[in-house]
Structure 1
Amino acid sequence: MKRKKRLAAVIGAGIAPLLAVSLPTGTANAHGYISSPPSRQAQCAAGIVPCGPIKYEPQSVEGPKGLMSCNGGNAAFAELNDDNKGWRVTSVSRTTSFTWRLTARHATSTWQYYAGGRKIAEFNDGGARPGETVTHQVNFGGLTGKQKVLAVWNIADTANAFYACVDVNIR
């Protein structure tokens, strides 16, 4: 019986490092979200609006390309789609800077911005890998008043994108 316990301990010690290496990584290697003006997930992370698990991983709103939802199709982050949750609205100019905070440098095809039911801006990065932050100057054209902006970071080498919604009041 003693030999079996010792053998089990030796096997366990040998397998443990393999398991540790093969397990998925945590959110530290995650992706990105809009920090300014504060997106819905940035407001959750800062505790401005009470939220569920998105509070701990605002950079993880990832889903298939082509979606038009704030949560990127991720049911765990469904509250990001709730327009009545009490999101703070940021007053902005007709042309406004949107800054993404990135926690992983993915090759990027395009960045897209939607408001008022249409695409208002697109920036083509042609596969480049951005730094820790990326800022775009977005012109709202004739839109005024309260608007929900959907911003999409399309990754070049996968079928996925990252999604962020920002509530603004265009002056």
Structure 2
Amino acid sequence: MRKRITTALVGFGVAATTVLATGGSAQGHGYTQSPMSRQAYCANGTVTNCGSIQWEPQSVEGPKGFPAAGPADGKICSAGNAAFAQLDDPRGGNWPATQLRPGQGFTFTWKMTAPHRTTDFKYYITKDGWDPTKPLTRASLEPQPFMTVHMGGRQPAFTESHQGTIPTNKSGRHLILGVWTVHDTANAFYACSDVTF
């Protein structure tokens, strides 16, 4: 009997160690798939020369509090993470873009690999006259989000969808910045999606 208990405990210890080793200290992780984000295009191979983001599209995490805090201007799409700097490169304004119509209803969708308690999701869009050949700055964005989804600390689903309306007064090429604010850490996740009207 003692041998069986010892074997079971050793087996449990190995399983627990495996979970800890593979799970690490991962908190929330996710990225937008609708409209397709830059990291999603890198992950699915549509865009190449993306560096490590192609294997970690869910890891674009940086300080929360945007726009008062958060990643520095010019480094917003990478969340200030140097390993993902390719996301800040405007590539001459040639990132693939989702076609939208002004004022249309739209379902914004995040793919979560590790959902985490959430304060809110906010969606910003660039101002008219934004230059898609330059890295994203706060001055490039409308000062207020066009949509905010309050979560009150709830945990999102592995596929998190938000029904909203695209701003009515936009034309040409723009960028939508999705910011997922984690409730109980100091961080948020950032996703830049290029769009065209």
**Alignment TM-score, normalising by the size of structure 1:** 0.80
Instruction: State the SS of the aligned residue for 1:88.
Output: coil
- Corresponding residue of 2:46: 48
| Corresponding position: 1:72 with 2:79 | yes
Number of paired residues?
155
Instruction: State the SS of the aligned residue for 1:134.
Output: strand
Q: Map Cα deviations across residues 70-94 of structure 1 (whole Å, 9 max, x no partner).
A: 1111010011011126310110122
Q: 2:45, 2:25 → 1: CA distance?
A: 18
Percent of paired sites with the same residue: 44
- Corresponding residue of 1:112: 122
What amino acid sits opposite 1:126 in the alignment?
Answer: G
Q: Map Cα deviations across residues 19-51 of structure 1 (whole Å, 9 max, x no partner).
A: 867657469876100012211000000111111
Structure 1 residues 47 and 26 mapped into 2: Cα distance closer, same or farther (>3 Å)? farther
Q: 1:107, 1:98 → 2: CA distance?
A: 19
Please list every run of 5 or more consecutive structure 2 residues that lacks an aligned counterpart in the other structure.
Answer: 1-13, 127-140
What amino acid sits opposite 1:61 in the alignment?
Answer: V
| Corresponding position: 1:121 with 2:128 | no
Q: 1:53, 1:115 → 2: CA distance?
A: 26
**Alignment TM-score, normalising by the size of structure 2:** 0.70
How large is the Cα RMSD of the aligned pairs?
A: 2.5
Rg bigger for which structure? Answer: 1
Instruction: Please identify which structure carries the higher strand content.
Output: 1
- Corresponding residue of 1:32: 30
Structure 1 residues 93 and 27 mapped into 2: Cα distance closer, same or farther (>3 Å)? farther
Please list every run of 5 or more consecutive structure 1 residues that lacks an aligned counterpart in the other structure.
Answer: 1-16
